[in-house]
Structure 1
C-alpha cells in the first residue's frame, strides 16, 4: 500500500469479528462470567431491557465473587438510567460512574457535546471487546432487521492498550467526582504469552493528545489506497480534508464505496449528508443507503488489507468532540471477512443512490438538505470547537 503511514500496529493478535448483538452479547456475557480479577466496561447507552439486565446480572455476579468491576456510562446517554438498577449494581460491589452527568435534555452549555461515545470492555487484561455496540437490545421492532453493527473480540498485546485507555478515563472521571478511593492507579500483573497472529492497533480520540487521531488514520489509509475503499458508517458528515481525500482516491481510479444510513434515524444528520452526494457521485463514488432497519455500523476496509471497527462515526461530533475508540487491523483474512459481510448488506439491504436521484430531487428535498446542513454548521459553530471550519 505505498509509503509508510502513521499507523504502527503490533503483531500477535487473535481477532474475531462479531456481527450485531446476536454474536456480541454472548461473547460479552461469557467474558464477564469467566473473569477472575477485573472487568472494565465503557458504553454510551445502557438500557434496562432484556439485554441490559442480563449484562447487569453478569456484572453483579462477577462483583459478588470478588472480581473488581468498573463500569463507566456516558451521562447523557444514561440520563434515564433507573435509580433501582444503579443501587443494585452498587450494592453488589460494582463500581459505577457516569461521565459528565446530564439531567436536562436541552442545554446551551457547549461542554455537553463532549460525550463518552466509546464501547469498550476488558477482562483480566487478557481479552477486549471493541466496537460500536451499545448495551441494549438490537430488536428495533416488527418489520425491521436487527440493528446493523459490528464489534471485535481481540486477544493480544493491544489489550494492554485498551486497559490503559479505560483506566485513564476511569481515574479522570473518579477524580472529577471526588471518588478518590476509585481513582487510585491499579496495577495488573500478567504474564501473557501470545502466539503468531494479526497486526492490530487501538486508536482513541480524546480532547488532549489525540484530538484528530482517528480522522488522521482514515486520511492516511484513504490516501494510500490503490484499489478499493469500502466505508460503512451510520452518521456520515465528513470534513473538508476527508471529502477531498475521498475525491482524490476516486479520481485516481480507486473504487470508493459508501454504505450509509437512510433518513430513518437522526434525520438531521442524514439529510445534511446529502449536501455532499453530488460531488462524490460526480467523481465516481458509489453511495448506498441501508434500508432494512437501523444501521449503527462504523467500519471500513482499505485494499482488502486494512480494516477498522469501532465507535467513531465520520461526522464532526465523533471526530472533533466525543471520546471514541477504533481498532485498526492489518490482515487480509479479517479484512476479507468484513468486506464480504458488508457486501452482503449492500446487495440484500441497500439501495444505490444514483446521480439522477440528486439531480432530479424536488425543491422541497433540496431545501431540507441545505436547512439541515446549515443547522449542523450552526450547532458546531456555536460549540466553539472548530466544527464550522471542519465542514467548510
Structure 2
C-alpha cells in the first residue's frame, strides 16, 4: 500500500554498509518464518557471499526466503552462486530479464531499483544500499556514501504488502505470516512507491508538497540530481521566500556524465540563494532529504528522470522530530568536514559556452514527463532464476 500514514513506529538510521550489513544480516539470521528481499544489485563479493550464507542458513531452518533482483543491475551472477541457494530452497526471481545484444545489456529503462527487506512481517529495511562491497569504506576511494532505515511497527505491514504484490506472480501460495501492526514507537511513517501503473508520481508529488510548505529549511543529499522543472522551481521559490535550501550533491562522481548534468542546474539555483555543496570524500549514493523540523525521507529514489518517471522505487516519508534532527546533524557534519561549497562566481565563469546546454537542459526537463511515455513500457515481469548445467547458465537461463 502506498500513501497511507501509519502512527506508532520505531526507526533507526543506518549509514553506509558498515551500519547496514551487520544489522540486516543479524536480523535475517534471527528470522523464524519468512524473509522477503528486493534489490537492484547483488554482486559475488564479500558482501554478496555473506548475504548468500545468511539466506541459506535461514532456508535450512525452514524459513521461506524469496528474493527479487533486477535484470539489469544483477546481470552477472554465476551459476554456482545461484545453485548454492536454490538447492536449499531459496527462491530467486529476476525482474524484467532481457537478452544481451552484442554483449550489452538492453533492458535500460523501468528498472526494479527499490531496496526492501521484510522479515517475519515484523521488521523491515528500506534505503538505497545494494549488496556489494562498494558500500564499505575499505573498498577504497570509490566506496559509496549511502543510507537506509530499519523500521518496526504498523508501517511494516505496508512494506510486506507491497513486496508481496511484486512477488505474488512468482509465489506458490500465500505468505505464511500475518504482518504485525502493533505500535513500537512514536514515529509517523508513510510508504511511497513509484511504479508504472497507479503510483507514477507519488514520490515526486510528496517532495513538491513539502517544498512548497517549507518555512525554515530544506536539506537534500541526493546522488543523481536532475529533477523535473517543477521540483527545481519549488526549490528556487522556497529560497526566495527565505527558506534555507541546501543541496549536497556528488563531488567525486561514480558517473561523471551525471555530475555534468547536475552542474548545468547550478546557476539557476544559486542565483536565488540555494546553497550547494559537493561531497568529495567518496561517491555520494544517498537519497535522503529533510524539511523544517519534522519531515524526512529515506529511500531508493534519486531526484532524476529515471527514478521519478521510469524505475520502481520505494521511499519512506517520516514525521519524527528526533529523527529529523539526527539526520540534519549528520548532514551538517558531512557538509562541514567533507564538502566544498559551490560559489556563483565560479559557476558563471565561462557561462557563455554552457548557455546553449542549459537552455536545452531546461526544455528537456519541462517535457520529460511526456518523453518518458515514449520509452519502452512493460508489465512487472518476474522470471524464476534456476541454476543450469553450464557455467554461463545464469545468463542463458535468464535470457532464454
Is 1:219 aligned to residue 208 of structure 2?
A: yes
Q: Distance in 1 between matches of 2:137 and 2:266?
A: 28
| Alpha carbons of structure 1 residues 376 and 136: separation in structure 2 relative to 1, 3 Å | farther
Is 1:148 aligned to residue 137 of structure 2?
A: no
Matches within 5 A, 1:333-372: 333-361=322-350, 366=354
Residues 239 and 316 in structure 1, CA contact (< 8 A), matched pair in contact too: yes
Is 1:56 aligned to residue 45 of structure 2?
A: no
Offset of 1:171 from its aligned partner? Answer: 1.8
Cα RMSD (Å): 2.9
Residues 16 and 146 in structure 2, CA contact (< 8 A), matched pair in contact too: yes
Q: Distance in 2 between matches of 1:383 and 1:67?
A: 44
**Corresponding residue SS for 1:313:** coil
| Alpha carbons of structure 1 residues 195 and 73: separation in structure 2 relative to 1, 3 Å | closer
Superposed CA deviations along residues 325-375 of structure 1, whole A, max 9, x for unmatched, are 0001101100000111111110111111110111114777x3896599599
Superposed CA deviations along residues 211-245 of structure 1, whole A, max 9, x for unmatched, are 00000010011011100000000000010110111
> What number of residue pairs does the alignment pair up?
373
Residues 98 and 106 in structure 2, CA contact (< 8 A), matched pair in contact too: no
TM-score, with structure 1 as normaliser: 0.88
Correspondence for 1:39? 35
Is 1:316 aligned to residue 305 of structure 2?
A: yes
Residues 265 and 358 in structure 2, CA contact (< 8 A), matched pair in contact too: no
Correspondence for 2:395? none
Offset of 1:266 from its aligned partner? Answer: 1.6
TM-score, with structure 2 as normaliser: 0.86
Structure 1 residues not aligned, in runs of 5+: 1-5, 175-181, 388-392
Give the counterpart of 1:100 among 93, 96, 99: 96
Residues 273 and 373 in structure 1, CA contact (< 8 A), matched pair in contact too: no
Which structure ranks higher in relative contact order (CA pairs < 8 Å, sequence separation ≥ 6)? 2
Larger mean CA deviation between 194-203 and 38-47 belongs to 194-203
**Corresponding residue SS for 1:340:** helix
Residues 269 and 372 in structure 1, CA contact (< 8 A), matched pair in contact too: no
**Corresponding residue SS for 2:265:** helix
Matches within 5 A, 1:164-313: 164-172=161-169, 174=170, 182=171, 184-186=173-175, 188-189=177-178, 193-262=182-251, 264-313=253-302
Q: Distance in 2 between matches of 1:54 and 1:133?
A: 15
Is 1:30 aligned to residue 26 of structure 2?
A: yes
Q: Distance in 2 between matches of 1:22 and 1:93?
A: 29
Q: Distance in 2 between matches of 1:342 and 1:105?
A: 42
Superposed CA deviations along residues 276-329 of structure 1, whole A, max 9, x for unmatched, are 111100010001111111110000010021100000000010000000000011
Correspondence for 2:157? 160
| Alpha carbons of structure 1 residues 350 and 8: separation in structure 2 relative to 1, 3 Å | same
Q: Distance in 1 between matches of 2:360 and 2:116?
A: 31
Offset of 1:15 from its aligned partner? Answer: 0.4
Superposed CA deviations along residues 147-187 of structure 1, whole A, max 9, x for unmatched, are 21000000000101001111111124x2xxxxxxx254335
| Alpha carbons of structure 1 residues 91 and 318: separation in structure 2 relative to 1, 3 Å | same
**Corresponding residue SS for 1:327:** strand
Q: Structure 1 runs of 4+ off > 6 angstroms? A: 105-111, 374-377, 379-383
Q: Distance in 1 between matches of 2:303 and 2:199?
A: 16
Q: Distance in 2 between matches of 1:230 and 1:268?
A: 24
Q: Distance in 1 between matches of 2:245 and 2:198?
A: 30
